Amino acid sequence: MPQFNQTGRPMPHLPTPGRGLIITLCLLQGLLLYFFFSDHIAARFAGFSHNIYGQTMAFTLPVLISLSVVHLNDRRLWASVALLALLLAGMATWVKSNIAETSADSVLVSFNLSLALLVYFVLPWLQVQTFPAANRYRYASLSACYSQNTLSAMLTFLLMLLAVGVMALCAALFRLVGIEYFHELFFETPLFMYLVYGLLLGASIVICRTQPALINTTRHIIRFILKGLLPLVAFVALIFLFALPFTGLSTLSQAWSAASLLTTMALSILLLVNVVRETDSEVKPYPRAIRLLVNAAILLLPLYAILALYATGLRVSQHGWTPERLRAVLLIVITLLASLCYSLSVIDKHPGWLPRITQLNKPLSVLVVILVIAANSPLLDPYRISVNNQIARLDKGKIQAKDVDLKWLRFDTGRRGNDALEALQQHPAFTADPRLLTAVKNMMAQTSRWGSYNDKNAAELAKNYRVEEAKKRIQLAKGATSPDDAWWKNLPQLEEYRNTLRDCLSLQGACIVNTLDLNNDRQKEVFLCNTLDAPSVNCRIYARQAGKWTQAGELYLYEEKDKSALITALRNGEVKPMQRKWSDVQIDGKRRVIHYNHDEE
């Protein structure tokens, strides 16, 4: 590791074979990521592509090895890598068991973020395996590794930004003269870009591990900047806490992201304190007055974590558990423990500044790793806990059946949510209400959160469409005249996304049709509203153009608090055209549409 610890001794030197291995591994990672994450893989590899085990190993192992390897025959390192690979395989097995076909993305995104966090905190413990036994688990060694890894990530990001900028400039220049080759190569050839990113990652790692003077200079510059920032952040933290008694805690319960803001403030101070404090130095930073200000902020830091826990607890009591809230609680618990440890270090009688930090950070980093693993295993499965909690709230009457978020169960909670959605079809609260039962069945048939259905099912629905059945299922508003037969006959072709047609034919009265003259042409347009969707009422307007029916407009009513009253009004035909009070204008023979800010518009 080309860093220097506080005694000035260099970390293990990276020999030439190790550098070659790093470049090779990073290029291989780019190739594997293309294979496992790209949608351009040939059909014959489709069964093996997007393999969760391959994704996990390709995402983590090349980075772990590239930042840790020194000698190729280091048995201790390779044994540690093998153990990590087994751990990662176990986590991949868990996530594979929790993936449903329609919710893979939501599960995999959080899993990949967990992998990134796991790599960041595990990597230094892997890197020190190549150190001499006397310095292997010293805090100075671990701190130097964390510093190097952070700077490597920053350098990699900077190199990638610069590389993309140069490629964009090159592609744009050649497009000026009609040459599209470079644009297609750089931005429409995924394999090329994956390999470029792999090469840049390998180059940045080699630079960080072979240029100790550059890395140390960069570290000192960043530390100097953050050292000046810490007193300012501490001052803001203190005045917020002093202002809070005058505003009351009720404001926290009303804020949308109170817990995230409070946790961010606490974590910011923890990070800045770690950067400012030298690893082995007993020299106290800042003049006495400023140091007292920083100490006061650290001493009161647990209050931020407690307030964040309180704000999250309010959300849980009001709306139940979700995977995001469970992960937030784990993060806040870590923040609270670290804040308590740092606060105790402030009141320590040791003559140095925050003397216990070096002893506390190691177990705290291990605790982070343990919780990340637990949250991606059956121990703290956020999807199982969240789904069971929401169903329990339904059973206990804390929420009504109409308030159950079916889309969340279908697309955000993996297999657990889909199993629960399947079970709701036999739940008494849903079997007693045909509308809710139909909504559950239709949600199970959806293939995306935006309302798309399986193409085969959609084609079968259009094929089996019967005008007489549609007229029975779709309710005619009171006082309205029925649309002409041409509209009824062409409804499957008019409904491009099929979701409205499916809902209308699933339950009698779920859709309401009216006929209104909406453009003063003395011909009535068709106003069709789908009331089956839980959060909204979706209406579509159809008009005759050149003798054919076409869809002319849409209306989405999301904000209605009393949905039943809205549906009653639609059934009673209480829909009247309202002409715009403000007009558009014509300029140079063309109509220009003005978007007014008035509420009545």
The model's confidence at residue 48, banded by pLDDT at 50, 70 and 90, is very low
Digit-coded pLDDT (tens) for 85-100: 999 999 999 988 888 7
Evaluate if residue 10 carries a pLDDT over 70.
no
pLDDT at 166 over 90: yes
Burial annotation 32-61 (CB, 10 A radius, 16+ → b, else e)? bbbbbbeeebeeeeeeebbebebbbbbbbb
Both tokens assigned to 19: 């550098």
Q: What is the pLDDT of residues 272-281, one digit of tens each?
A: 998 888 654 5
In percent, the amount of the chain with pLDDT more than 90 equals: 42
Task: Return the pLDDT at 560.
Answer: 58
Q: What is the pLDDT of residues 71-81, one digit of tens each?
A: 888 889 999 99
pLDDT band at 7 (very low <50, low <70, confident <90, very high): very low
Identify the H or E element spanning 274. helix 258-276
Which among 282, 453, 258 has a CA at the least distance from the CA of 353? 282
pTM of the model: 0.84
Cα 130 to the chain's mean position, in Å?
35
DSSP string, 406-445: HHHHHHTSHHHHHHHHHHHTT-HHHHT-HHHHHHHHHHHH
| Model confidence pLDDT, tens digit, residues 386-403 | 999 999 999 998 999 888
Q: Which residues, 6+ apart, have CB-to-CB distance to 100 below 8 Å? A: 107, 414, 415, 417, 418
Q: Per residue in 173-220, pLDDT tens? A: 999 988 999 999 998 888 899 999 999 999 999 988 888 888 888 888
Answer yes or no: is pLDDT of 369 > 70: yes
| Distance (Å, whole) CA 410 – CA 159 | 40
What digits encode the pLDDT tens for the residues 561-594? Answer: 678 888 899 999 999 888 878 888 889 888 888 8
CA gap 569, 575 in Å, rounded = 8
**The two structure tokens encoding residue 169:** 């400039």
pLDDT in the model for residue 504: 87
Q: Give residue 445's pLDDT band: very low, low, confident or very high (50, 70, 90).
A: confident
Strands 548-557 vs 475-476: parallel, antiparallel or unpaired: unpaired
Question: Of 228, 203, 180, nearest to 66 (Cα)?
Answer: 203
Q: pLDDT value at position 561? A: 67
Q: Report the C-alpha gap between 301 and 343 in whole angstroms.
A: 7
Closest CA to 323 of 375, 287, 281: 375
Four-residue CA torsion sign, 262, 341, 122, 328? negative
Average pLDDT over residues 54-79: 91
**pLDDT mean over 255-271:** 88
Indicate whether 598 pLDDT > 70: no
Which pLDDT score is estimated for 563?
Answer: 80
Q: What average pLDDT score do residues 521-543 get?
A: 87
Exposed, middle or buried, 247 (CB in 10 Å: 0-12/13-18/19+)? exposed
Q: Per-residue pLDDT tens for 309-354?
A: 998 998 899 889 999 999 999 999 999 999 999 998 888 777 777 8
Residue 357, pLDDT above cutoff 70: yes
Averaged confidence pLDDT in the chain:
85
Segment 513-532 mean pLDDT: 89
The DSSP string of 141-168 is HHHHHHHHHHHHHHHHHHHHHHHHHHHH
**What's the CA gap between 18 and 71, in Å, rounded?**
7
